[in-house]
Amino acid sequence: MTKLTQYEEIFCQEVVKGSNLTDAHRVAYPKGKYTDKQRNEEGCKKNKLPKIIQRIKFLREPVIAKVERTLIDILNDIDTLREGNMGKDQKLALDCIKHEAKLKGYEIDKSDIQSGGEPLTMNTIKVNGKKVNIKMGD
């Protein structure tokens, strides 16, 4: 990988943290006298450079892997609960899963425990602000 300047490295780190390109440029190059429009244009230019693209991808990989693994764990827990037919304890167990998910940075938007021995169903969960539909059961 081509060596980055310290400013380019800061820019990449800010993008990975979630900053938009204008703000990432502002943090990486604080002494520059740029208008917001110029910062946006410069941030967009930087974001298209192959060495910047490669570094951002490299910095994101472990974060993405951790999030994907954690989401799989949560879904497996939900599936185990559904298949276990835990009766009265389903609501308590679901609450535990919801709290664990929240601690891990996920939010379960809706849940519905059907009565009469029907399986537990989850409608959606939210991952980093994006809703993911989940179909449980047959």
DSSP one-letter string for 105-122: TEEEEEEEE-STTPPEEE
pLDDT score, position 116: 45
User: If you average pLDDT over every residue of the chain, what do you get?
Assistant: 74
Amino acid at 47: N
Q: Which of 16-25, 35-44, 88-97, 110-119 has the lowest mean pLDDT?
A: 110-119
Q: Which residue has the higher pLDDT, 102 or 49?
A: 49
Name the residue with tokens 């167990």.
93
Q: Which residue has the higher pLDDT, 82 or 112?
A: 82
CA distances from 13 to 19, 20, 74, 79, 96 (A): 9, 11, 28, 36, 34
| Close Cβ partners of 87 (under 8 Å, ≥ 6 residues apart) | 117
**CA 116 to chain CA centroid, nearest Å:** 36
Between CA 54 and CA 116 the distance in angstroms is 53
User: Checking DSSP bridges between strand 120-127 and strand 130-133, what pairing results, if any?
Assistant: antiparallel
Cα radius of gyration rounded to whole Å, the chain: 21
| Close Cβ partners of 40 (under 8 Å, ≥ 6 residues apart) | 21, 22, 25
pLDDT score, position 9: 94
